[in-house]
């Protein structure tokens, strides 16, 4: 190790926190989580935020526009979220969340949510098989699936953090900026935790 390298802080090792498989057909979506480490409610909320950021990034790549999804998320948040919310209905979408989808025409994405000892987070996965319509629907499904896993206080934090993300993207960040993938969700979560 060189003298300069010895002065640099050590890079924290990432560890897998949650795995998620999102399987979708035209009207049904299944979201299955696999805990890969000790996780808390906050990790599920962070997962939603990072998934949302990743989908916005992918929408810009796939369809060159992500404007409709933030409007949809604003409508969901404005309507109010609780553990009994039908997020599909709040979004004005048909469809529902299913436990399992056994359809040869279904499309799936597998992703893994990582964290470091320094509380930095990142979502990895291949979203290339999902069309823009399915990407949008998958965000709604991921939100719906997490509502059953977290307390009312964390649902409120999730709603505030989603609104914070939209405000951040509206003012200082771009959907297509790779740095925004981790920075915007982290900032939004942090700001929501102080409300």
pLDDT tens track of the chain, all 195 residues? 434 444 444 446 889 999 999 999 878 899 999 999 999 999 999 999 999 999 999 999 887 677 789 999 999 999 999 999 999 999 998 888 888 888 888 899 999 999 988 888 999 999 988 888 889 999 999 999 999 999 999 999 999 999 999 999 988 888 888 888 899 999 999 999 886
* E strand segments, the chain: 15-24, 28-35, 96-98, 107-115, 121-125
Torsion (CA) 22, 36, 44, 195 in degrees, nearest 10: -160
- The domain limits of the chain are 13-188
Q: Do 24 and 97 contact (CB within 8 A), yes or no?
A: no
Q: Please tell me the pTM assigned to this model.
A: 0.91
Instruction: Give the contacts of 110 (CB within 8 A, at least 6 positions apart).
Output: 19, 20, 21, 125, 126
Judging by beta carbons within 10 Å of its beta carbon (0-12, 13-18, 19+), is residue 19 exposed, middle or buried?
middle
């Amino acid at each position: 190790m060189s003298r300069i390298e010895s002065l640099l802080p050590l890079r924290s090792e990432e560890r897998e926190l949650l795995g998620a498989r999102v399987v979708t057909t035209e009207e049904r979506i299944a979201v299955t989580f696999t805990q890969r480490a000790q996780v808390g409610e906050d990790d599920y909320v962070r997962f939603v935020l990072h998934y949302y950021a990743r989908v916005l990034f992918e929408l810009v790549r796939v369809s060159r526009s992500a404007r409709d999804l933030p409007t949809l998320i604003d409508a969901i948040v404005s309507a109010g979220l609780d553990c009994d919310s039908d997020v599909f209905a709040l979004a004005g979408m048909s469809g529902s969340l299913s436990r399992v989808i056994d359809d040869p025409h279904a499309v799936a994405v597998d992703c893994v949510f990582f964290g470091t000892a320094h509380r930095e987070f990142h979502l990895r996965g291949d979203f290339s098989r999902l069309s823009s319509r399915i990407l949008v629907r998958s965000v709604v499904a991921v939100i719906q699936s997490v509502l059953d896993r977290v307390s009312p206080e964390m649902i409120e934090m999730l709603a505030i953090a989603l609104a914070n993300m939209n405000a951040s993207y509206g003012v200082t960040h771009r959907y297509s900026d790779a740095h925004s993938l981790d920075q915007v969700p982290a900032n939004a979560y942090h700001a929501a935790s102080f409300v």
